[in-house]
Structure 1
Amino acid sequence: MSTKNVTAPREPLIKPDGIQQQLSSLTHESVQWLRFHWLQILIAFAVGAAIVLALHAARRLGARLCRRDKSGTGWLTIVGRAISRTNTFFMVMLAAKLVVGYAGAPEQVSKTVNFLWIVASVFQFATWAREVILGAIEHRTQSEHYAGEALLSAMGLIRLLVTFALFAIAFVVVLDNLGVNVTGLVAGLGVGGIAIGLAAQGIFADLFAALAIIFDRPFRRGDSVTYDTASGTVENIGLKSTRIRGIDGEERIISNKNLLDKEILNNTLRNHRRARFAIGVAYETPQESLESLPALLKEIVEGEKLTFVRAGFTGFGASTLDFEVQFDSDGPDYASFYNGRTRVGMAILRRFNEQGINLPFPIQTNYTAAPDGKLVMPYPAETPALGATAGSSTEPARQA
């Protein structure tokens, strides 16, 4: 005896009869609501219409703000662009939400309006946020000191990333408010984001470093900077790297992330440059001259129209009494600083020669010794020629 398995037909998830019944119930409840609450509905509708008209006027105002800003990237344009992106569907649902809340709509009508209001409001706020964020980035990148071809071309990628992130969050928020379990979806998005981030972490690190340079502004194009042991002038701030023209004419290319990880000296923002001279005078210099030396150095610096900082005695050297003078050249210009330092140096030499202050140079003297290490004395009356006697010579040697 054979048996056959007969599979019962699967019932459809959405039945046409069920849809028709729900529509019929919604229509009936709406008609009853209109019959018994027509006055409240009219009042709420009038208020809602006024709100819609006010939002339309605000949208036109936003468009006028954009036209008023001549730069095209100012904050008036950013605010105006965000306001002008207000959607008509959002305006209508805002008015409907007020009508439903004031006039006591039936449950099915209220649920329908709440659903549409959540969708409209969440995506409208995402649109506003996108316009403000992108406008702020464009406002920074449009500066003449930060505008670069690579960075401006990156705006397309930045716009895509910001739009995707904001609307993905908006989509998840809508589903969560509708009662959908979004735990799995959030986990999936998180895993996907981690995978993409690991695959392109170098690119994203340099991209965010470029944005940090734009917003924090540690330097700008045309600034003279020093990092590590290198110096140069910033020529271009790009998406992945910054190009710096070295002081010897070479072009240095360093990734934005590595550059920000270093200590950067912005020489263009200096309010002064400081010079120091170490001066050694002979031990036989008179005491009065030694005591007046700091005042003399101050007089020399101020005579060259530079800012005197300090001057004084620093120590007892092997063959000199050591002094130091410090002075500043106002402003960041290196050429002015260099020329001022030269003038002060020449003036010190001139004044010291006039007053007979000796600046001795180091001298090296070789002595002749016996095999037991004792010095051989006395020296010959006449010093032999250099190289004539291997055993004894006296040879002054200047050190650079």
Structure 2
Amino acid sequence: MTLLSLAAATPATPKTAPAADPLAELRYWWDSSVVWVNGHWLQIAIAVGAGLIIYFLLSLVRGFALKRAQSAPGHFTMTDIVGRVIHKTKSLVLAIVAIRLVAGYASPPAVVMETIRFVFTVAVVLQVAIWAREIVLGLIQRRAAEGHNETLANAMGIIRILISVALFAVAAIVILDNMGVNVTGLVAGLGIGGIAIGLAAQGIFSDLFASLSIIFDRPFRVGETIKYDNSVATVERIGLKSTHLRSINGELLVISNTNLLSKEITNYANLHRRRIQYAIGVVYQTTPEMLRALPALLQAQVEAEGHEFIRSSFVGFGASSLDFELVADVHNDDYNQVIAARTAIGIRVFDEMTRAGYDFAYPTQTTFTAAPDGTMILPYAESVTMKTPKSAQS
């Protein structure tokens, strides 16, 4: 008697399965498997062959993609991240995927098919969690490499733990849900626990996320000069909880990241041009013609120093001066060079104005005396003649 005739003569599955005796239940499933193998050996053989071919092709594609990704230049590039994701693809997962693709062809018993589906779901969910972790960590490390940020590099350990816990917690919930477990209470419990932990460590997490915000948004970097509140300082270190600033007077300012981002910050690092202004006052005795010529004279001095003239105009009548303003732009990133340019322009303006006969005003008071008839005269009588010595007359 052949195997096919034996399979035809044998019932596909027993009519009932014993429920009480575990040994009898195990024997029942064994008998069912034997009947299935005897009745579908050809389909099983074809499915096994097809599964091996699919597994081989998937492994070949993974190896080819990994080789191409690893041969690409650069570190923490998008190609490098893709290579890391491919490298984390497990061979066991490829085998389970191949089995799942061909399992239906062999018409396995319901319990076998359910087992294959369950194992496939668990493997795929865990593999997706691993892929997601590698992608997120790769993007974070790429950002850290772009900015050469030591703080983020040092924090990668705790970031890896937090991301792994979050992703695998979601994966566990998905797996339990596919097993038929009611995860509503579990999700609610995790949410309440997360809220409790967040409230307990609110200050720490606030500074941590503020640090990540500084790292990714990059309002400033280490070595740059910024103005925070009323302080002008250079950034020395960006930590997970606080940032160290060195003020222009030499003091070390340690400011929590949350407080640092809560106020306006002025960054002087990328200031490619700086505006300088002068307030110039001349005496009231200056003639109108000289006043009209003053803006052009000031413009000529700025352009002679090689800087950009913006404007020069009459501002108003001061208490003891006629006030003008001079505005110019210096195109230079180095603040020391800007200071030197401001000094050079100021000295040149003073020199040229002095040569042209302008008198700079300074706070003074002039007393005028009135004659008996009300005429304004000088503080001294012009009619008084200076007495000369007799020796000089002779």
Length-normalised TM-score, structure 1: 0.80
Instruction: State the SS of the aligned residue for 2:280.
Output: strand
Distance in 1, Cα, partners of 2:190 & 2:39: 43
Aligned twin of 1:153: 154
Aligned-partner residue type, residue 113 of structure 1? I
Aligned-partner residue type, residue 281 of structure 2? G
Aligned twin of 1:135: 138
Aligned twin of 1:85: 88
Instruction: State the SS of the aligned residue for 1:117.
Output: helix
Aligned twin of 1:55: 58
Query: Would the aligned equivalents of 1:45 and 1:95 in 2 still touch at CA under 8 Å?
Result: no
Unaligned stretches of 5+ in structure 1?
1-12, 368-376, 383-400
Distance 1:17 1:334, change over 3 A: same
* Counterpart check, 1:272 vs 2:273: yes
Unaligned stretches of 5+ in structure 2?
1-18, 369-375, 382-394
* Counterpart check, 1:31 vs 2:31: no
* C-alpha RMSD over aligned residues: 3.0
Query: What is the CA distance between 1:83 and its match in structure 2?
Result: 0.9
What per-residue deviation string (whole Å, max 9, x for no partner) do you get for residues 343-378 of structure 1? 1111111111111122210125799xxxxxxxxx99
Distance 1:62 1:245, change over 3 A: farther
Aligned-partner residue type, residue 325 of structure 1? L
Distance 1:140 1:184, change over 3 A: same
What per-residue deviation string (whole Å, max 9, x for no partner) do you get for residues 28-85 of structure 1? 57426724745xx72x555543442343234435654675467653433322111111
Aligned twin of 1:194: 195
Query: Would the aligned equivalents of 2:40 and 2:106 in 1 still touch at CA under 8 Å?
Result: no
What per-residue deviation string (whole Å, max 9, x for no partner) do you get for residues 128-170 of structure 1? 111111222222334564114xx43322211111111100000
Choose from 116, 120, 123 the match for 1:117. 120
- The aligned runs of 1:319-334 (5 Å cut-off) are 319-334=320-335
What per-residue deviation string (whole Å, max 9, x for no partner) do you get for residues 167-224 of structure 1? 0000001111222100111111111111111111211112222222222222211111
Aligned-partner residue type, residue 158 of structure 1? I
Distance in 2, Cα, partners of 1:327 & 1:16: 94
Distance in 2, Cα, partners of 1:79 & 1:239: 29
Aligned twin of 2:170: 169
Distance 1:290 1:115, change over 3 A: same
Query: Would the aligned equivalents of 2:367 and 2:379 in 1 still touch at CA under 8 Å?
Result: no
Aligned twin of 2:22: 16
What per-residue deviation string (whole Å, max 9, x for no partner) do you get for residues 305-358 of structure 1? 111122212222223222211111113211011010111111111111111122
Aligned twin of 1:389: none
Distance in 2, Cα, partners of 1:177 & 1:339: 73
Distance in 1, Cα, partners of 2:216 & 2:28: 55
Choose from 78, 81, 91 the match for 1:75. 78
* Counterpart check, 1:108 vs 2:114: no
* Bigger radius of gyration: 2
Of 287-296 and 334-343, more deviation after overlay is shown by 287-296
Query: Would the aligned equivalents of 1:62 and 1:84 in 2 still touch at CA under 8 Å?
Result: no
Query: Would the aligned equivalents of 1:275 and 1:328 in 2 still touch at CA under 8 Å?
Result: yes
Query: Would the aligned equivalents of 2:33 and 2:109 in 1 still touch at CA under 8 Å?
Result: no
Query: Would the aligned equivalents of 1:243 and 1:252 in 2 still touch at CA under 8 Å?
Result: yes
Aligned twin of 1:299: 300
Distance in 2, Cα, partners of 1:14 & 1:144: 66
Instruction: State the SS of the aligned residue for 2:254.
Output: strand
Distance in 1, Cα, partners of 2:174 & 2:333: 53
Aligned twin of 1:370: none
Length-normalised TM-score, structure 2: 0.81
